[in-house]
Amino acid sequence: MPASFDQSLWIFRSGQRSGVALVATLTVTALSLAGCSSLVASVGSKPGVIEAVGAENQYANVISQIGGKYVAVTSVLDNPNIDPHNFEASPSVAAEVGRAELIVQNGVGYDGFMNSIESASPNAKRKVIIAQKVLGLSNDTSNPHLWYDPRTMPTVAQALARDFAALEPTHRNYFQARLKAFDVSLQPWFNAIAAFKSKYAGTAVAVTEPVGNYLLQAMGARVLTPFVFQADIMNGVDPAPEDITLENGFLTTHEAKVFCYNEQVVDSLTSSLKATAKAAGVPVVGIYETMPTPGYDYQTWMMAEVAAIQAAVVHQTSTEVL
């Protein structure tokens, strides 16, 4: 391409009246560009393999657990250092989503960027599973971190098995078997939640933002932090000084037994709260917004979070990084 560009410059510079040559050069350039883009489009899409996209890597993980060898899955949000609330989609993401036959996203405005990409590249065949929709939650659900709710992934996995079977009917039994295996593999997590709840229900917890709240509620923990404060941190606006004082008080007076800290949504205030918790001897537990990689799948991640909270309550140990 640089060669043809130089050529066209040379035509301009030489002052020759060769409009035909110029048009020819530009055409060559355009053709080589077109060649490049068709090359990009032909990458991937092996026959018999469904291309799928998980808006967050925890959903991508469940897609691959259900789809097995018949799915090639990519995730949009998988960097644990990025705050997903502030994510902006890039052209390469748009291309992946455009090709995908199956998409899983969270909903509740958490990954609204997916909707705009999908409508930009319409595909009648494409199946889109929205966790919010399959759970029947309304748009004004205040806490969008649905994957921490133990009810979410079984429901999403069910929808996945159904849609995979619709896309590849010959492998229906394969997807059903994988769904069953997935449900079985979640059982230890459910057991751990129930075991915690039976022993430590009502444990008071302070949080920076609502990321792990569904799990904490399932475990029977009591979240002390006012939701307005959590929402302010989540949305990146300043909380009121009254709420900051209140939150600090939960830690310094040891009213909170655990301080749950979102490792992926950090600012000077949450850092100083973490320091306060440490100084006061309140154990800190890092709650992740997306699945930590590598080395975790959805089940082991959730187990690790429950284990970290339990260790904080029982042994007063902090688990800041999974």
Q: Three-state SS for 130?
A: strand
Bridge partners (DSSP) of residue 286 are 261
| Least Cβ distance, residue 273 to other proteins (angstroms) | 10
| Least Cβ distance, residue 268 to other proteins (angstroms) | 6
Residue among 37 and 79 whose Cβ is closer to other proteins: 79
Interacting residues of 304 by C-beta distance below 8 A, sequence separation 6+: 296, 322
Cα–Cα distance measured from residue 98 to residue 42, given in angstroms and rounded to the nearest whole number: 13
Residue among 183 and 243 whose Cβ is closer to other proteins: 243
Sign of CA dihedral 78, 140, 269, 302: negative
Cα–Cα distance measured from residue 166 to residue 40, given in angstroms and rounded to the nearest whole number: 28
| Least Cβ distance, residue 223 to other proteins (angstroms) | 16
Q: Three-state SS for 219?
A: coil
Residue among 36 and 240 whose Cβ is closer to other proteins: 240
For residue 106, what are the CA distances in angstroms to 59, 119, 209, 219, 274? 8, 17, 18, 22, 28
Interacting residues of 211 by C-beta distance below 8 A, sequence separation 6+: 145, 148, 234, 260, 262, 265, 287, 288, 289
Largest Cα–Cα separation, the chain: 89
| Least Cβ distance, residue 212 to other proteins (angstroms) | 16
Cα–Cα distance measured from residue 220 to residue 8, given in angstroms and rounded to the nearest whole number: 71
- The dihedral over CA atoms of 92, 298, 206, 234, expressed in degrees to the nearest 10, equals 20
Site residues for other proteins per CB under 8 A = 80-83, 85-88, 226, 228, 232-245, 248, 263-269, 271-272
The 8-class DSSP code of residue 170 comes to: G
| Least Cβ distance, residue 240 to other proteins (angstroms) | 3
Residue among 40 and 321 whose Cβ is closer to other proteins: 321
| Least Cβ distance, residue 81 to other proteins (angstroms) | 5
Residue among 93 and 161 whose Cβ is closer to other proteins: 93
Tokens of 112: 């609204």
Residue among 112 and 236 whose Cβ is closer to other proteins: 236
Tokens of 99: 């090709």
Residue among 235 and 316 whose Cβ is closer to other proteins: 235
Q: Which amino acid, one-letter code, is at 155?
A: T
Q: Three-state SS for 208?
A: coil
| Least Cβ distance, residue 244 to other proteins (angstroms) | 5
φ and ψ at residue 80, rounded to 5 degrees: -65, -10
Residue among 50 and 233 whose Cβ is closer to other proteins: 233
| Least Cβ distance, residue 129 to other proteins (angstroms) | 26
Residue among 54 and 286 whose Cβ is closer to other proteins: 286
| Least Cβ distance, residue 110 to other proteins (angstroms) | 14
For residue 239, what are the CA distances in angstroms to 83, 87, 184, 212, 226? 18, 22, 42, 19, 11
